[in-house]
Amino acid sequence: MTSVHFLQRSPSKLTLSYAHNKKYFSTEIVKPLQRLIVAMLKTKKDQYLLDFLKNYFTFTLVNKYIFVWFMSNFLSNLYQLKNDGKKALAVLIDPDQSEESVLNIAHHCQANSVDFVFVGGSLTTAGILSEAIKNIKKNYFGKIYIFPGNEFMIDNNADGILFLSLLSGRNPEYLIGKQLVAAPLLAASNLEIIPTAYLLIDGGKETSVSYISNTKPIPSDKSDIAIATALAGKMLGMQCVYMDAGSGALNPIPEKMISSVMKSVNLPLIIGGGIRNIDTATKAFSSGADLIVIGNGAEDDRSIIEQISAVRDSFSVKIEF
């Protein structure tokens, strides 16, 4: 994580020093950021800019004149939210939708302060993915992470990628085979890599993921299997757990299973599949989800983004700087 220190000497003069990872913090970024922070220090009135910066930086007030910022990544964001007693929301955008639909969903994500946008699908090609990310960026200014359906869904226009290993299945191609092919490509990219234990949970119907990966989901009443699988992922070095009932799931992941995994595995917990309304979102958050992901629900009804954003905010303790 890149550290950046801003030392306020006077309202009109700001000195800056930064460490490591300089390629991600070039002078092209530093200069306008200096001007922006000077303006904010003078006025302290532009809440939109404050909110925008909070999305990308962790802010610490050391004393009256010294401010410390940290370039945030996906995991540090989730841990910070967890420590602050907050929750997060991601919207999964299928790049195979029309350009108009992608732009519209991205607009609603921005308008409702969605924390992250995930982009991906089981049958998406690299070309379609790239165009979708460019279109999302026209209307959404937060971070975009690839949710890959295959080893070729890699694009430097995104901020990062969930490096998934389908631990709930027994198909070696989705445990390590696809990852082996993708690894050299990812090593040459600028993407943030998030090692993710991916657990498919039975949502009441066969999903695209289970069909394409030729794997069975974990039964929804078998919390002990989900716990053991998540623990194995943690012991293998994975940094977050993603439990997914799959696209178009009839049933969301049971509260008991979410709660059991949360208590057993001290990692950020992502929950997706079957979350289409306030009730299912509230239950997922209450059970221990740190981040919930909505997909089909948002495609069918854009107002779901606003509704579930409000649920997320109801779990948050707002901290004023």
Cβ atoms of 86 and 315 closer than 8 Å? yes
DSSP 23: G
- In this predicted structure, which of 81-85, 171-175, 182-186, 254-258 has the lowest mean pLDDT? 81-85
Question: pTM higher than 0.85, yes or no?
Answer: no
Q: What is the mean pLDDT of the chain?
A: 82
Domain boundaries along the sequence of the chain: 3-72, 75-314
What are the tokens at 239? 């940094």
Sign of the torsion formed by the C-alpha atoms of 240, 1, 34 and 68 = positive
Are 232 and 167 contacting, i.e. CB atoms less than 8 angstroms apart? yes
- Strands 143-146 and 160-166, by their bridges, are parallel
- % pLDDT > 70, the chain: 74
The CATH architecture assigned to 75-314 reads: Alpha-Beta Barrel (3.20)
Average pLDDT of the residues in 143-166: 94
Of 48, 74, 87, nearest to 313 by C-alpha is 87
Taking the alpha carbons at both ends of the chain, their separation in whole angstroms is 22
For residue 269, what are the contacts with CB-CB under 8 A and spacing of at least 6?
A: 240, 241, 243, 258, 261, 262, 288, 289, 290, 291
Residue 251 confidence class, pLDDT cut points 50, 70, 90 = very high
Is 321 a residue whose pLDDT tops 50?
no
pLDDT given for residue 48 in this prediction: 54
Average pLDDT, stretch 151-175? 95
| Residue-level length of the chain | 321
Select from 300, 303, 307 the least CA-distant residue to 292: 307
Higher pLDDT, 61 or 316: 316
For the segment 84-104, the average pLDDT, to the nearest whole number, is 93
pLDDT of residue 247: 83
Instruction: Please check the confidence at residue 160 and state whether its pLDDT lies above 70.
Output: yes
Please give the C-alpha separations between residue 229 and each of 90, 173, 196, 210, in angstroms, as whole numbers.
Answer: 24, 17, 12, 17
pLDDT of 97 higher than 60: yes
Residue 235 has pLDDT above 90, yes or no: yes
Could you read off the pLDDT of 53-74 as tens digits, one per residue?
555 454 444 443 344 444 468 9
Could you write out the three-class secondary structure of 258-306? HHHHHHHCCCCEEEECCCCCHHHHHHHHHHCCCEEEECHHHHHCCHHHH
Distance CA 153, CA 145 (A): 11
